[in-house]
C-alpha cells in the first residue's frame, strides 16, 4: 500500500511541475443495495495537457470504503487517466487504469474504450475493463475480474440503429463468462433527442459453484424496453433512460426488471466543470433475490488552471 501512495504522489508532483495546461480533479461515487451493502469512493488528482473535457491525460489517487452489517473494508489505489475523443461522434480513446490493494493482493482496475467510425453509418468499439467483485465475501478473498469486448454499431435507416456486442469476462477465482448484448435504437423524436430502445443481454458462466462469493448462475438472460433521451442545452449535455423488462435465471426463474439512468455534464460558472450521474436498477446483480435493487450516485468536478 505504501508503494501505491508513493507512486501516486510522484506522478502528481511530476505532472504539476512539467505539464501545462492542467486541471484539478475531484470525484465521489456512492452506491448501495437492498442487501445492506454500501460503497463510497473518493478520488482526487490532476489532469495534464488539459485542452477540454474530451482531451486530457492525468493521474488520481482513490479510496473506496465498503460497509455491510458491522463489517467494513477500505481499498486504496492509484489510477492513470487518458481521454482523447471527437466531440461530434466520441470516436477515440477514453481510458483509466491503475492498481488497488485488497486482502493482501494487488489488483488491476480500469475501464478503457476505443471507438472509430469506419463509414458514416458504421462504428466499432473495443472495450477492456477490470475491477473488484464488490460483495463482502469476494472482497475478503480479493476476487477481481477482467472484461474484453468488441461492439459494432450499424445505422440501417436515418432513424434506426442496431448495436451488437460480444465479450469475455475472466475472474481471478477461475470462473469466466461469455457475454452477448444487442440493442435496437429508434429515434422517435430526433429534434427533442428522444429515442426508443429494445435491449437484450445475457451471459454463460463456466463455473456454477463460486463458494457463495457472488451471484453466479450458469445462464442469465434479460430483455428491456427503454425510453431514452440526449439533449444539449446551454453548454450542458443531458442524457437518461427509463426502462422495464424481464430477466430469466437458469432458464427457470423469471422476474421483472426496471432501470432509471440520468447523466448531466457541463460548465458550472467560470472554468469549473461538473458531471453528475445517478442510476437505479432492480435486477439480480451479485445477489440472488427477487426484489434486489441497487442505486448509484456520483459527481465529478474539474477545474482547469
Q: What is the mean pLDDT of the chain?
A: 90
Nearest 5°: the CA angle 181, 186, 190 is: 135
Flag whether pLDDT at 155 surpasses 90.
yes
Is-above-0.95 flag for pTM?
no
- Place 226 in a pLDDT band, splitting at 50, 70 and 90: very high
Label the pairing between strands 122-132 and 144-157.
antiparallel
**Predicted confidence band at 21 (pLDDT cuts at 50, 70, 90)?**
low
Burial of 191: CB neighbours in 10 Å, binned 0-12, 13-18, 19+: exposed
In a domain, 72, yes or no: yes
In a domain, 248, yes or no: no
- Average pLDDT of the residues in 190-213: 93
Which pLDDT band holds residue 17 (cuts at 50, 70, 90)?
A: very low
> Is 212 inside any structural domain?
yes
The answer, yes or no, to whether residue 279 has pLDDT greater than 50, is yes
In the chain, % of residues over pLDDT 70: 91
Asked whether residue 6 is domain-assigned, the answer is yes
Confidence check: pLDDT of 159 > 70: yes
Q: What's the confidence (pLDDT) of residue 265?
A: 93
Beta-carbon count within 10 A of 189 CB: 11
The range of the structural domain enclosing residue 6 comes to: 2-186+206-216+286-304
- Report yes or no on 35 lying in a domain: yes
Confirm if 97 and 87 have CB atoms less than 8 A apart. Answer: no
Q: Answer yes or no: are the C-beta atoms of 123 and 150 closer than 8 Å.
A: no
Q: Is residue 99 part of a domain?
A: yes
Number of domains the chain contains: 1
Q: pLDDT at position 293, please? A: 92
In this structure, the number of other CB atoms found within 10 A of the CB of residue 177 comes to: 19
**What integer pLDDT is reported at residue 291 of this predicted model?**
80
Can you give the pLDDT at residue 15? 44
Q: What's the rounded Cα separation, in Å, for the pair 6 and 10?
A: 6
Greater model confidence, 22 or 171: 171
Identify whether 21 is preceded by a cis peptide bond (ω within 30 of 0).
Answer: yes
Note the pLDDT of residue 27. Answer: 96
- Asked if the model's pLDDT at residue 261 lies above 90, the reply is yes
Residues 108 and 79: their CA atoms lie apart, in Å, by 9
Is pLDDT of 234 > 50? yes
Whether the pLDDT of residue 263 is over 80: the answer is yes
Residue 16: the pLDDT is: 43
Question: Is residue 22 in a domain?
Answer: yes
- The arithmetic mean of pLDDT across residues 35-64, rounded, is 93
Q: Does position 20 have pLDDT exceeding 70, yes or no?
A: no
Please indicate, yes or no, if residue 195 is contained in any of the structural domains: no
When pLDDT is averaged across residues 65-88 and rounded to a whole number, the result is 95
Amino acid at each position: 500500500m505504501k508503494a501505491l501512495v508513493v507512486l501516486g504522489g510522484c506522478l502528481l508532483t511530476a505532472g504539476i511541475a512539467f505539464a501545462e495546461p492542467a486541471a484539478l480533479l475531484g470525484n465521489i461515487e456512492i452506491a448501495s443495495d437492498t442487501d445492506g451493502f454500501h460503497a463510497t469512493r473518493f478520488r482526487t488528482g490532476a489532469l495534464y495537457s488539459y485542452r477540454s473535457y474530451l482531451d486530457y491525460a492525468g493521474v488520481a489517487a482513490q479510496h473506496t470504503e465498503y460497509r455491510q452489517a458491522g463489517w467494513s473494508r477500505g481499498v486504496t489505489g492509484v489510477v492513470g487517466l487518458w481521454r482523447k475523443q471527437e466531440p461530434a461522434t466520441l470516436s477515440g480513446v477514453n481510458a483509466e487504469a491503475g492498481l488497488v490493494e485488497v486482502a493482501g493482493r494487488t489488483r488491476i482496475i480500469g475501464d478503457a474504450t476505443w471507438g472509430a467510425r469506419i463509414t458514416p453509418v458504421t462504428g466499432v468499439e473495443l472495450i477492456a475493463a477490470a475491477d473488484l467483485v464488490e460483495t463482502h465475501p469476494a472482497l475478503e478473498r480479493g476476487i477481481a475480474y477482467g472484461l474484453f469486448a468488441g461492439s459494432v454499431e450499424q445505422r440501417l435507416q436515418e432513424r434506426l440503429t442496431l448495436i451488437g456486442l460480444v465479450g469475455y469476462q475472466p475472474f481471478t477465482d477461475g470462473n469466466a463468462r461469455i457475454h452477448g448484448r444487442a440493442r435496437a435504437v429508434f429515434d422517435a423524436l430526433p429534434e427533442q433527442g428522444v429515442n426508443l430502445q429494445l435491449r437484450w443481454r445475457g451471459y454463460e458462466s463456466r463455473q456454477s459453484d463460486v463458494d457463495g462469493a457472488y451471484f453466479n448462475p450458469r445462464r442469465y438472460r434479460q430483455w428491456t424496453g427503454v425510453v431514452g433521451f440526449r439533449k444539449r442545452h446551454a453548454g450542458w449535455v443531458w442524457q437518461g433512460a427509463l426502462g422495464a423488462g424481464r430477466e430469466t435465471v437458469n432458464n427457470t426463474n423469471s422476474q421483472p426488471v426496471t432501470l432509471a439512468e440520468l447523466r448531466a455534464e457541463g460548465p458550472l460558472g467560470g472554468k469549473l466543470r461538473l458531471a453528475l450521474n445517478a442510476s437505479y436498477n432492480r435486477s439480480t446483480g451479485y445477489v440472488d433475490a427477487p426484489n434486489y435493487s441497487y442505486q448509484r450516485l456520483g459527481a465529478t468536478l474539474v477545474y482547469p488552471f
